[in-house]
Amino acid sequence: MSWLRRPLASLRSLVQPRRSSAPGSPLARRSSTSSISAFMPEATALAGVRDYPALRQFSLQQAERFWGALARERLCWISPFTTVSDCDLALGNIRWFEGGRLNVSVNCIDRHVHTCPDRVALIWERDEPGSQVRITYRQLLEMTCRVANTLKRQGVRKGDRVTIYMPASPIAVASMLACTRIGAVHTVVFAGFSAEALAGRIQDAQAETVITTNQAVRGGRIIELKKTVDQAVKMCSSVKHVLVAKRTENEVPMSNIDIPLEEEMMKEEAFCDPVAMESEDLLFLLYTSGSTGKPKGLVHTQAGYLLYATVTHRYVFDYHDGDVFGCVADIGWITGHSYVVYGPLCNGGTTVLFESTPVYPNPGRYWEMVERLKINQFYGAPTAIRLLLKYGDAWVKSHDRSSLKVLGTVGEPINSEAWDWYYRVVGESKCPVMDTWWQTETGGICIAPHPATREAEIVPAMAMRPFFGINPVLMDDQGRKLMGNNISGALCIAQPWPGMARTIYNDHDRFVNTYYKPYPNHFFTGDGAYRSEKGYYQITGRLDDVINISGHRLATAEIEGAVNLHRVVAESAAIGCAHEIKGEASYVFIVLKDGIDIAEHIITEELKHIVSQKIAKYAVPDYVQIVKRLPKTRSGKIMRRVLRKIVEQKLDELGDLTTLDDHTAVQEIVAGVQGDPKE
């Protein structure tokens, strides 16, 4: 299969050494059968079972009853649903809770205002340490309604797309929820994306409204966010108005389509009737990289997404009322959607909005924040853990972390060293570490050590156990299901669940071809995984041309697309290579146009500039190498697998080169890599 770039045999070598927990160690606590009924009373009562394996069986075999009970219990409906699910994975048709109507903002705010209006919903951890702002559920409702009324006044209606380009802040969350209140579809774009990347996303969504801030503040520096929006909007004829919130007191140029958000919202009423939405109406689009140069707008809908985010938030992190939940992801990623905004708020929780960086003003920032805000669950990225580990234990130990109960990571595989440090030093060997595997496509966590019980065994650096209703299977490269344990394959999910993406915006064919064609009747994740002797899952990495830089997805084709715009570049090939902090870095091979002579360090700088202009700073290549030609098959396909092996210096694993068009290409490149040890 063409997507299967990495042979399955090599997956095994990618799997990090697993350390089984020794009996008697704190990691080896026995699985408890008692706590689960307290966790999921409606489901355990319905199933008449009390332990995780039995409830998991029930959730798979009687998925409709399982999810139906949770949906009735956990969500607040305007009118009840008539069918639980109606899915045909072969066609990529996925529907949950049809017939039901609800409003997401009511689920996330109003119902908590009725029971606990003064509970803190958001803690905005601003860039400047110690300047946090707390917003109660009552205040969040008022803000949300005012923004909703402002949107309505600008003519935004149900189904219209609104692009949000803002850093994490209460007004950004209120903007997302305001969209849900009036039935508009938000599409949050990570505020680190360039003007061109933003423009591409606005165009694809055909958004008429953009919400942004005058400036952003991060790591003590001012970022000219509105300026980037101005550049993007010039390329987007669909945009009719830009709402501009003020993060700083500085004035920025305002044009006739720009509207000062705070000023306008204060003129509006603090009440706004929520629109009754059908379960399968669009909730949001979120763009993510696929294996082509064009990012795809994954579509999530109302009820199923919300239910899944809510339930996973509660059980994976053992979230209890009154806990302070600290997920440091940006709202521009799915993690920010599900575990900064929707999951915690639907659960009536207190959620932290982190605006800063892990090293500002010093590498103790996270732990100083944990102490100051008394964070109970901390959810971060392996790349940040690896970075902080390098600064040493003192930055951690100088802060009181006794509030912490659970630690989590997401976005990329966590290596054993980082896992160990997180567990031992940050958590003082008291907090279970959740290595959570999921994707923009899955809506919420699918595999994590504790889907329900606090006491279950945890194997370091492994996502381990499927969540309720998640049925992972491994496939070989012939599309056959792999049975048994101690085996690696392509990770698929055999059964629908409420949180899964419904389509790619305006491109259902791409949706079906990407996720449902490779393995008929299964959702294909694009990742490889290993199933251990004991049946636990460990993710081994992408099988397609997607690389993962600091937990952010990027298609090698996107990097190549930007690089090829340089006037001297004839063609290029980007690959991911191991990087100590970022997990993966991008390594770009370029062929120059005839007659061009340019020093490698000069072209490297120029290409970094282009990539940051076209995509984002995080995407810039770390290494650029000029080569005479690229290794290609006779049909002209670039063999990135060969390039990867060369960079990894695994020349004995180059594999079958007989399909190569020209053998000398490989020899030349090998000589180049060895002569230039990537400095």
Q: Which of residues 546-565 bind ligand WT7 (CB under 6 A)?
A: 548, 553
Closest CA to 371 of 345, 398, 346, 410: 398
CA 176 to chain centre: 17
Phi, psi values for residue 467, rounded to 5°: -70, 165
Sign of CA dihedral 651, 656, 658, 659: negative
Q: Are 586 and 619 in contact (CB under 8 A)?
A: yes
Cβ(43)–Cβ(55) under 8 Å?
Answer: yes
* Stretch of 28-36, 524-532, 569-577, 649-657 contacting ligand WT7, by CB under 6 A: 524-532
Q: Which of residues 528-547 bind ligand WT7 (CB under 6 A)?
A: 539, 542
- Asked whether the beta carbons of 239 and 245 are under 8 A apart, the reply is no
Residue (244 or 463) nearer to ligand WT7, CB: 463
Name the minimum Å distance from CB 525 to ligand WT7: 6
Check residue 501 for interaction with ligand WT7 (CB under 6 A): no
Q: Report the residue number, 213 or 548, with the smaller CB distance to ligand WT7.
A: 548
In the list 302, 347, 439, 586, the residue contacting ligand WT7 (rule: CB under 6 A) is: 439
Q: Give one word for 148, left, alpha or beta, with left for phi > 0 and alpha for psi -120 to 50.
A: alpha
The three-state (H, E, C) secondary structure of 422-456, written as one string: HHHHHCCCCCCEEEEECCHHHCCCCECCCCCCCCC
Q: Which of 233, 410, 611, 639: binder of ligand WT7 (CB under 6 A)?
A: 410
Of the candidate spans 21-29, 385-393, 409-417, 500-508, the one that interacts with ligand WT7 by CB under 6 A turns out to be: 409-417
Residue 411 interacts with ligand WT7 (CB under 6 A): yes or no:
yes
CB 540, min distance to ligand WT7, A: 8
- Cis peptide bond prior to 361, omega within 30° of 0: yes
CB of 410 to ligand WT7, least distance (A): 5
Nearer to ligand WT7, 425 or 463 (CB): 463
How far apart are CB 288 and ligand WT7 at their closest, in Å? 5
Give me the least distance between CB of 413 and ligand WT7, in Å please: 4
Q: Which phi-psi region, left, alpha or beta, contains residue 24 (left: φ > 0; alpha: ψ -120 to 50)? A: left
Q: Rounded CA gap, 668 and 211, in Å?
A: 50
Amino acid at 658: T
526 binds ligand WT7 (CB under 6 A): yes
Candidate segments 146-154, 333-341, 385-393, 593-601, binder of ligand WT7 by CB under 6 A: 333-341
Q: Is there binding between residue 297 and ligand WT7 (CB under 6 A)?
A: no
- Confirm or reject binding of residue 187 to ligand WT7 (CB under 6 A): no
Interaction pattern, residues 253-292, with ligand WT7; x per rule: CB under 6 A: -----------------------------------x----
End-to-end Cα separation, the chain, in angstroms: 36
Q: How far is CA 484 from the centre of its chain?
A: 30
Residue 553 CB, nearest approach to ligand WT7 (Å): 4
Buried b (16+ CB within 10 A) or exposed e, 239-278: bebbbbbbbeeeebeeeeebbebeebbeebeeebebbebb
For ligand WT7, the closer CB: 279 or 439:
439
- Is 214 a binder of ligand WT7 (CB under 6 A)? no
Residue type at 662 in one-letter notation: D
Residues 6+ apart with CB under 8 A from 78: 101, 102, 103, 106, 276
- Among 67, 422, 438, 505, interactor with ligand WT7 by CB under 6 A: 438
Answer for which of 85, 209, 279, 335 binds ligand WT7 (CB under 6 A) is 335
With CB under 6 A as the contact rule, the residue among 121, 259, 275, 334 that binds ligand WT7 is: 334
Instruction: Establish if 463 lies at the interface with ligand WT7 (CB under 6 A).
Output: yes
If the CB atoms of residues 413 and 561 are measured against ligand WT7, the closer one turns out to be 413
CB of 379 to ligand WT7, least distance (A): 10
Residues 6+ apart with CB under 8 A from 623: 577, 585, 586, 587, 588, 604, 678
Q: Which is nearer to ligand WT7, 132 or 292 (CB)?
A: 292
Position 616 contacts ligand WT7 (CB under 6 A): no
Stretch that binds ligand WT7, among 59-67, 394-402, 405-413, 606-614 (CB under 6 A): 405-413
Q: Shortest Cβ distance from residue 463 to ligand WT7 (Å)? A: 5
- Check residue 527 for interaction with ligand WT7 (CB under 6 A): yes
Which CB atom, from 436 or from 503, has the smaller least distance to ligand WT7?
Answer: 436
Rounded to whole angstroms, the Cα distance separating 659 from 399 reads: 58
Contact 16, 416 (CB under 8 A): yes
In the complex, the smallest distance separating the C-beta of residue 450 from ligand WT7, rounded to whole angstroms, is: 14
Question: What are the phi and psi torsion angles at 209 (to 5°)?
Answer: -125, 135
Q: Shortest approach of ligand WT7 to residue 438 CB, angstroms?
A: 4
The correct pick among 215, 376, 440, 453 for binding ligand WT7 (CB under 6 A) is 440
Which residues face 120 on adjacent strands?
136
Least Å from the CB of residue 302 to ligand WT7: 20
How far apart are alpha carbons 415 and 531 in whole angstroms? 17
**What is the binding site for ligand WT7 (CB under 6 A)?**
288, 333-335, 410-413, 435-440, 463, 525-527, 539, 542, 548, 553
